Amino acid sequence: MKISSRIVVSVVLLGLIAASPSFAKQGDKAVDLTLDVATEPASGFGSAVGVTLGGGYEVIDSLQARIDLSYYSWDQGAFGDDITYRRIPLDIGARYYFQLPPKGLKVYPLAALEISFDELEFAVPFFPKQTEDKVHAGVVTGGGVDYALTKEFSVGANLKAHLITDGYVTMGLGGTFHF
């Protein structure tokens, strides 16, 4: 009887997954910093670079409750007009980690509720600068990958869709301290 190479590879991968230790154990805490690229929230603004500071707590093994605070700023100017759109979203949500081979590699889906503090500022020559502040609520969905370099530090990437007024997508690269 000939054994398929796909079956052998599948069995080996499942064995590695089951044997791999996890850095997402109940009670673990994490703090991360991510550099993000955000798509435009409204036509004509283009993409922006932002930053996210987050923290997480492992409620149970592999399930992390999270809070993230980000900052993004988009600029647009034409014919002497200057428009700036600033967004400070606060996300409260969760990630569920799945261990993959090699040891230390994890993927996760994520979901969060988002409260976004938005400011639209525009200046027209010869007129005073105008500012409009709004608060919006929405949801965030996405996923990411983390790779543990040591027991205390991992690097990762994520992709998030922000389903909110003037929705946008972010892609981030960052590092996480585990303690």
| DSSP per position, 62-93 | TEEEEEEEEEEEEEEEETTEEEEEEEEEEEEE
Distance between CA 75 and CA 84 in Å, rounded?
Answer: 5
The two structure tokens encoding residue 166? 């003037």
**159 membership: H or E segment, kind and range:** strand 153-163
What are the residues facing 96 on neighbouring strands?
63
Ordered DSSP codes for 7-36: HHHHHHHHHHHHH---S--TT-EEEEEEEE
What are the structural domain ranges in the chain?
Answer: 5-178
pTM for the model stands at: 0.81
User: Mean pLDDT for each consecutive 10-residue tract of the chain (179 residues)?
Assistant: 50 41 76 96 82 97 97 79 89 96 94 96 82 95 97 97 94 97
Q: What is the CATH number of domain 5-178?
A: 2.40.160.20
The amino acid at residue 26 is Q
**pLDDT number for residue 18:** 38
Coil, strand or helix: which one is 26? coil
CA distance 179 to 177: 7
Query: SS3 of 167, please?
Result: coil
Nearest to 93 by CA among 71, 118, 117, 115: 115
**Cα–Cα dist 37/33, whole Å:** 13
What is the reported pLDDT for 79?
61
Contact 109, 129 (CB under 8 A): no
